């Protein structure tokens, strides 16, 4: 008797999980079809959603206006561009994103250390990358003084923070 109850409960639970998965897939597909959707980290900011796609486009347009021809070609082809620090002369790669997207390059051009710094506020990726570019090219020491440093694995994935400020 009790074994039959356990079997029935397991079956009902399996059906419940199956239905939850189906509903999650339907919701995911519906959200993917929305042209003006936003990232999960921004969805709780009041008034942030409306016009997000337009702001993202304007931010990228402004960034591309500030990039040199070489940086523009690099960003267009690979979704990142490289800048040279004004004080040390080190090379940094800025990837598309708003955080943990700045990597210091070693002599062979491979990411060795990551730096996380961004302006305050809810800015789109293009605006954040522009701020990071200007900061490294005009005040590298000041930018790195407020940045959090993190290890970068040999596969390019972020591993863990080294320090927090």
Q: Tell me the per-residue pLDDT of 93-102, one tens digit each, with 9 for 90 and over.
A: 999 999 899 9
By C-alpha distance, which of 30, 55, 57 is closest to 123?
Answer: 55
The more confident residue out of 53 and 42 is 53
Q: What does the pLDDT look like over 17-44, one tens digit per residue?
A: 677 777 777 776 776 666 555 555 554 4
Domain positions in the chain are 1-33, 52-161
Token readout for 103 is 């990597």
**What pLDDT score does 36 carry?**
53
User: Quick one: CA torsion of 148, 150, 155, 157, rounded to 10 degrees?
Assistant: -60
pLDDT band at 142 (very low <50, low <70, confident <90, very high): very high
By C-alpha distance, which of 100, 80, 88, 75 is closest to 157?
Answer: 100
Q: Determine the Cα–Cα distance for residues 30 and 27; give it in Å rounded to an integer.
A: 5
What average pLDDT does this structure show over 125-145? 94
By C-alpha distance, which of 53, 50, 44, 33 is closest to 124?
Answer: 53
pLDDT band at 122 (very low <50, low <70, confident <90, very high): confident
pLDDT at residue 124 greater than cutoff 80:
yes
What three-state secondary structure class fits 75? helix
pLDDT at residue 125 greater than cutoff 80:
yes
pLDDT at residue 140 greater than cutoff 90:
yes
**What pLDDT score does 49 carry?**
53
Model pTM above 0.85: no
């Amino acid at each position: 008797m009790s074994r039959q109850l356990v079997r029935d409960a397991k079956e009902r639970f399996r059906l419940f999980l199956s239905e939850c998965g189906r509903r999650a897939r339907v919701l995911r597909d519906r959200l993917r079809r929305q042209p003006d959707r936003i990232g999960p980290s921004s969805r709780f900011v009041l008034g942030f959603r409306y016009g997000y796609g337009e702001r993202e486009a304007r931010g990228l347009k402004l960034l591309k206006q500030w990039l040199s021809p070489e940086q523009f070609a690099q960003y267009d082809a690979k979704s990142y561009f490289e800048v040279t620090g004004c004080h040390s002369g080190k090379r940094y790669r800025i990837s598309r994103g708003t955080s943990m997207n700045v990597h210091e390059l070693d002599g062979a051009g491979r990411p060795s250390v990551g730096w996380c710094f961004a302006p305050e506020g809810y800015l789109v990726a293009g605006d954040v990358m522009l701020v990071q570019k200007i900061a490294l090219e005009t005040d590298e020491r000041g930018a790195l003084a407020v940045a959090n440093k993190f290890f970068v694995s040999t596969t390019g994935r972020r591993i863990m923070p080294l320090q927090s400020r």
